[in-house]
Structure 1
């Protein structure tokens, strides 16, 4: 009898009507906008939507963050569309190839890429709910992909902090603590990287995982939801100049149509907004530009608020801006975007197809050549973006990125053509010089990958055919267990990872300061030498063989320390690499992004341990435990901290100062730095004309360098420069420049230095002549390494990283 009762109950449950979709407020148990939702609560809400409407909501986890939080998108559409989701995706991608007649619009909306711009994730829940209820007609011919939180680690860092320190009830006074985030703000991800500037470079785990899914869809529309200062009205498309020349007229025009649709709703409510100002479409690694260069209408929406606004704040004009207000604004533009997309499905599909038709780019092929590991690193990035490439062993003619330099026709060359689906993106990432139709831009103006990866390159106006398979270079590992020493070269970050691995495993390693050869083998400065005599107590041969296979390193065995040319292995010019104990300064006036670049470099690239020393307790630390201290970009140091660092250097420490940290040291007499200033013109030499008030910004950019590439000279005998040729293309981010030191100038600019790519203001350029890029100064028993340009900037300037590694391992006191 009991079994029959249970069976009947089961049947009744199966035929009960499904629970209705709950609004965010009902599900969360608090009114949306009355508090901040933690990431797990947001995920739970989307799981509720999928559970109650599985035919109209489908969740897909596409990855996890560094701190283990899930990364997820929700596909939202009609039951029929979701049932045919894969067929819709395939038809959409076929359209890019000129095939088929798809009839659906693909709209992707990304929220909360900056963790403390926290309103957007709240808005994503309400927008999704209304698309499934009151606005479901928008979904008839539209698939909406919603990423409710691109940066969960940053978001929860902000939300957890705010919930700890908020007033009850919340305090609108901007001076209250709840409106002042601590040093590690919620804006970046775990490693303090700005994910909104990583779409093209893919240095971060979140970006790498997201781009795989994005490339599977290549949406018609992509919106990146942001926040800005609390006193700013709402910003939406159309974007400001400069707009990259590859952006089509249709992409520009439809941005305007979307903006007009938003304006209709904002006008109705009396909400303030602005367009066509500040936020341009140039730098390729944003959440609006990267989709644009892949055929989408890519847009940034900016709501006033950010990490200062909390649940409510008084603005400069005395208005109260609440979280509920901010949700309403992002919610409105989100729905408006889907609405106008659904109304223009046919045109979106037609123009998307036209975007991918053959285009007449100035250069049709980019041909590259250089050190094997650097080529490998670039092809990994191309693979991640699904950019096609091939190889040729034939001579190629075209415009050299470095005039006067020719390629070695005996070596294989990498060919990347614009005659492919991603041709527009190829043009943007590889072109030697970006065309600027306005020099007032939001970000850097030079990023060409051949410069970034340190490769020789030719831009050809013809399609260069590929006629060779990729040469799979097997490492030549010759490890004789009875050898006197084993030797390998030093050219790339792969070599640096190999060295770090050995040092972590207590293998003692030397390097040579002068070239040497024996037999048919020649080795340049900085080659790594591992001798049996230095490693008597460990199974060094087996450790080397394992490491050589892991890092694909050529290894050569030497039966003697007597060389044919150069200095023998026992010479003072063959130096021991001290196993470093490394610390990085954090907190205080240190740039969080600058700190993150160093932190990420050690843990995720070099994979070598680093200690983080915070300003709060720096005076209590025994610095003698560390032989290297890194000062990232910063704007100041407490006097007691600076004095402590100076004493430590003089006692034998190695200090590496990066970027703006040089400004701090420049103020102290002990350091040899001298900033270059443009001398004032003699009185009467030039008539001075007052600058119109509305031209002050344009006059000001004369003093700026917005990410320009300069060709620098390299002293290849300097330990900082081991592994480099005699020139280096440096990415200069700031106008500040420092005079050549009396000696120790490893990389420097000659007189009359000019940018070869990107924008540099006329007054700023005058400072660059006879300045150093990287230099060293002995101080007492220690050494200071100055890096005026940041080689770790955003983790993408690959060719600069070996300079930083040389600073760690090759520069001795």
Structure 2
């Protein structure tokens, strides 16, 4: 009897909670009682707690179980093995015929197929939430949106179910979302604390914004450095949604933002004007009405960026759909004080819910228009390509097969057609060999993505950028390429070509040789060193008589002598072969230490490679993005563990257990004077510090190094600037992210493996160091005409021409390697990664 009474009382409580929530989020609506409400399933009202991702997925699983109008799909898993799910909702007949709907919809993307009857086709709508894990209102809104769409008895919900296939990503970044969810719930007060200084509203490092590797996934739609977006893009190209909602949060004192963004300056140059001038306006009226109906304030057109293709709201625009960014002023917890009063979590969720519903309503009402636009988009892509002088791009590095393959994979992932180059070509002084280079024709449906990959843009409608102003991926990969006015095509590649690795047959050898030019040579080296193999490297080039005949090897070549090993020849050969297979590099061998040309293998210019023992300082005051880029690089491209030590733990560190210290950008204010002295002593005794951007400024301030800055602005500021123009005036002085040509000393240990003397570098700071006073220690310096792509003010460009990109400061028996420009930006600058690898493996040779 007591148990029955408790059950009854619990049911009554849930009823009143459900009623309260329904009144707030869905006033005057009736719901199908067979579909469990979020509060009845979770046990609390949405907005009362932050919902853990596993509970969110469990609720979606329940919806798919109880409703024939829902299907839950798992499209992949995060690094922490959380499922990446998409909940598909539509009328039952559509759910049973998803493959047929998809195949018919894909006809719109292929201009060679006849146009299907768009009047009978459902809208394909994707609602994507919480790509930034600490912007949680979107994930909660996804729960309410799914419930409303399946259970609401309203006419609008019925229209959407009947005329759309809605696909809901509850969180593109589940790992980051749970990091923030646990933080907010762990620090929730009873009653909740609205003070912005309260711990609940101030996460520790790293924040929930980022994924497992501390990356901002909303920048990864183009580079695809991470599994979350690799799987998302793979899924995206199976559907090509008409509309994609991308739901975010911004500062607490803001209201709500929806598109259109700032005209021209924040718009992508390859997207048709129709998208911005016509379609955006159509949809904006729906969002305005939805927020007006509940009295929520909003703003448009002032800022936010739709130019960079790596955003979740921009990529769909370059795929014939409409990407829509939404930004809600955040409660960053359960309640927070703002300039307009206290902002509750529930309030932020309700706004996201209303614009979610408005997105679906607009998508359904405009579905025929959007279907025709999708077909028109890909048709005009080909017609624009046909009118362009550039008919194709040819690319390929003759010495770095791995980097070619990485770039090929990126193009194929974005559904860009690539062909083998069927002839030897010489274009603008560059040679592209048959069998080692590839051709991308411009006349293809993905023409606009081809432009994004290869074009260099230096003219802009504005001088203020929310983020990067240049994103030419061919330059990021450091791939030699050229445009052609012809299109010579060999066989089309649908997948990566099968890699056939060279490994010498058994025999009596003096040494095995590996060219350091290959991108994955560092992975090979680490694998060998971890297996106990002694490895040496050459400081100068030589030509050896190998088992395949005479072969030239550049500076940086790995030399693995068969002598001086702690194992017999058979074990050595086995370990080398395993390392080669794991890294995808070619191995050659020679039976003599006497070179045909250049130094012999016993020269003093051939020396042992020190096994790196690396520590990286992280934590409050350092850049989580740069630290994550380094961690991700060493994990995924080298397979090499590095010790990530929080600044607060540095008192327990004995630096003599390590030979390399990495300092990502930061101010390092948490280090005491005694700890700084410990670093100085270790450095003077032979240690290597690798510092990135602001870390070099900190080293300068501590007088650990004594380099020189370039002087301030060359152009004098005017005596008066209107107050309202201050943002634009000061913003024009910033370097949001642009690409430059630099001159590389490839005889320097930091230049090992590079075959050219010029290299593209990425810059997104106004830190300007003069070249080193030591004429041998500025291995990377800007050229006289450096700008390759992006915006730069005239005065900053003049300073760049005079400054160093990479320089070395000798300190006692040690050295500091300064990366004034980040060589690992967003996990996609493969062209400059090798500079960083060289600093780790060859730093002691400088």
TM-score band (shorter)?
Answer: over 0.9
- 1:211–1:678 CA distance, 2 compared to 1 (3 A): same
Q: Is it true that 1:300 corresponds to 2:325 in the alignment? A: yes
**RMSD of Structure 2 on Structure 1 (CA):** 2.0
Distance 2:37 2:391 in 1: 52
**Deviation digits for residues 366-408 of structure 1, max 9, x if unmatched?**
11121322211111112222221002233668xx7xxx53324
| Residue equivalent to 1:723 | 753
* 8 A Cα contact 1:718 1:746, kept in partner: no
Q: Secondary structure at the match of 2:440?
A: strand
| Residue equivalent to 2:693 | 659
Q: Map residues 688-699 of structure 1 onto 2, 5 A cutoff.
A: 688-699=718-729
Q: Map residues 176-575 of structure 1 onto 2, 5 A cutoff.
A: 176-240=198-262, 241-252=265-276, 253-305=278-330, 309-317=332-340, 319-357=341-379, 358-361=382-385, 362=388, 363-370=390-397, 371-394=400-423, 405-408=429-432, 412-433=436-457, 435-466=459-490, 474-519=500-545, 520-537=550-567, 539-575=571-607
- 1:511–1:797 CA distance, 2 compared to 1 (3 A): same
Shift of 1:629: 1.0
- 1:434–1:92 CA distance, 2 compared to 1 (3 A): farther
Shift of 1:105: 0.6
Distance 1:106 1:388 in 2: 25
**Deviation digits for residues 614-661 of structure 1, max 9, x if unmatched?**
111101211111111111121334343433222211122111001221
| Residue equivalent to 2:195 | 173
| Residue equivalent to 1:787 | 819
- 1:584–1:688 CA distance, 2 compared to 1 (3 A): closer
- 1:751–1:128 CA distance, 2 compared to 1 (3 A): closer
Distance 1:566 1:601 in 2: 34
Shift of 1:409: 5.2
Shift of 1:117: 0.3
Q: Which runs of 5+ in 1 are unaligned?
A: 1-17
**Deviation digits for residues 225-277 of structure 1, max 9, x if unmatched?**
10000011100011223212221233222112111111012122221101112
| Residue equivalent to 1:4 | none
Shift of 1:687: 9.4
Q: Is it true that 1:60 corresponds to 2:73 in the alignment? A: yes
* 8 A Cα contact 1:60 1:72, kept in partner: yes
* 8 A Cα contact 1:166 1:177, kept in partner: no
**Worse overlay, 650-659 or 359-368:** 359-368
* 8 A Cα contact 2:469 2:790, kept in partner: yes
Distance 1:583 1:566 in 2: 37
* 8 A Cα contact 2:464 2:732, kept in partner: no
1:101 pairs, out of 97, 105, 117, with 117
* 8 A Cα contact 1:484 1:560, kept in partner: yes
Distance 1:256 1:769 in 2: 43
Distance 1:174 1:678 in 2: 37
- 1:348–1:673 CA distance, 2 compared to 1 (3 A): same
- 1:128–1:467 CA distance, 2 compared to 1 (3 A): closer
* 8 A Cα contact 2:781 2:806, kept in partner: no
Q: Is it true that 1:598 corresponds to 2:627 in the alignment? A: no
- 1:803–1:387 CA distance, 2 compared to 1 (3 A): same
**Worse overlay, 799-808 or 356-365:** 356-365
Q: When the two structures are superposed, what TM-score results if normalisation uses the length of structure 1?
A: 0.93
| Residue equivalent to 1:734 | 765
Distance 1:679 1:745 in 2: 26
Shift of 1:19: 6.9
**Deviation digits for residues 450-477 of structure 1, max 9, x if unmatched?**
2111122112344443368897663331
**Deviation digits for residues 681-716 of structure 1, max 9, x if unmatched?**
7xxxx7944111222222213422221111111111
- 1:261–1:204 CA distance, 2 compared to 1 (3 A): same
* 8 A Cα contact 1:711 1:728, kept in partner: yes
Distance 2:365 2:312 in 1: 24
**Deviation digits for residues 148-202 of structure 1, max 9, x if unmatched?**
1111111111111122122211101112111111111100001101111001111
- 1:633–1:20 CA distance, 2 compared to 1 (3 A): same
